[in-house]
Amino acid sequence: MREPTEAGRTTESGPPVGYAEHEPEPVAYAGSGSGSAAVGYAGSGSAAVGYAGSGSARESNARYKRLIADGTTGLTVAFDLPTRMGRDSDTAPASGEVGRAGVAIDSIDDMRVLFAGIPLDTVSTSMTINAPAALLLLLYQLVAEEQGIPATALTGTIRNDVPEERAARGRYVFPPERSLRLMADMFRYCRAELPRWNTVAIEGAEPYETLRAVPGVEERQAERLAKLRAWRCGDRVHRTLVSVTAAAGGDDNLLPPMKEALAAGATVGEVCDALRAAWGSYAPKETPLSTV
């Protein structure tokens, strides 16, 4: 059943998740490397970029809208550590890190909220994420398509710098050679689907700020995920995740089956787990992200 979302679009996963929970609040700049109030240039364009993103998608969306109202024509999204490590906000390894040093994005519903009311055909977006980069870009593409914007009109940059994961925190999200395969699939996919997108930005290791977690974000994200899983079509999600695992064991491009899974309401963590099912994990044991 398709239900209307806040912005008048519809979602396969059921009623809108968490849209009436909180009014937008002021949100501080948060992220890594660039500092707490960074404004600069990103990608190959000349758009002034505002670096923002912390806490929830709703809070970050309010900040983006203020930046655009002030004349910003490009946005840089900082994702929180669980998102960057391919873990959902309600999993044990994510505890204490949700919405800290970046925005928590678990599903297409979060991405809808993050870019609600933002014209993705007139802004350039840069994303700070590495191994799960393809997943976040696919979510961005899906939201743009819901807005009626073709992928060929999208501009921006995604870091996609897998070796930086090892240099910055001593581990990889996926085994290194598999991460590179995912990068190569993304290059091929963007050449055909998102020709104006910059598919990698090599920046080297950066220190990540230790920031206070935004109060209540972890609990709200867990509630959103519970609602998402209750309303989406579980059979459809399962089928698409099985397809992702099968594709990961073969030679076909991984992005089309991953896009289908995300459109069905699969979470970033679930798709990453489907890849891990085929590839295994690089780390020998599971540890809290805060200790990495």
> Within 13 A of 52's CA, how many CA atoms are on the CB side?
24
User: Which of 270, 272, 257 shows the shortest CA–CA distance to 228?
Assistant: 270
Cβ partners under 8 Å of residue 184, min gap 6: none
- How many domains are there within the chain? 1
Q: Which of 17-21, 161-165, 199-203, 230-234 has the lowest mean pLDDT?
A: 17-21
Q: Which tens digits make up the pLDDT trace of 16-40? A: 333 223 333 322 232 322 222 222 2
Per-residue confidence (pLDDT) for residue 16, from 0 to 100? 30
pTM: 0.78
Per-residue confidence (pLDDT) for residue 160, from 0 to 100? 81
The Cα 213–Cα 282 span in angstroms is: 27
Q: Which tens digits make up the pLDDT trace of 66-90? A: 999 999 989 989 899 899 999 999 9
Q: Which tens digits make up the pLDDT trace of 216-260? A: 889 999 999 999 999 999 999 999 999 999 999 999 999 999 999
* CATH label of the domain that carries residue 100: 3.20.20.240
222 vs 172, residue with greater confidence: 222
49: pLDDT strictly greater than 60 = no
10 Å CB burial of residue 169 (0-12, 13-18, 19+) is middle
Structural domain range at position 257? 3-291
Per-residue confidence (pLDDT) for residue 120, from 0 to 100? 96
Please give the mean pLDDT across all residues of the chain.
Answer: 78
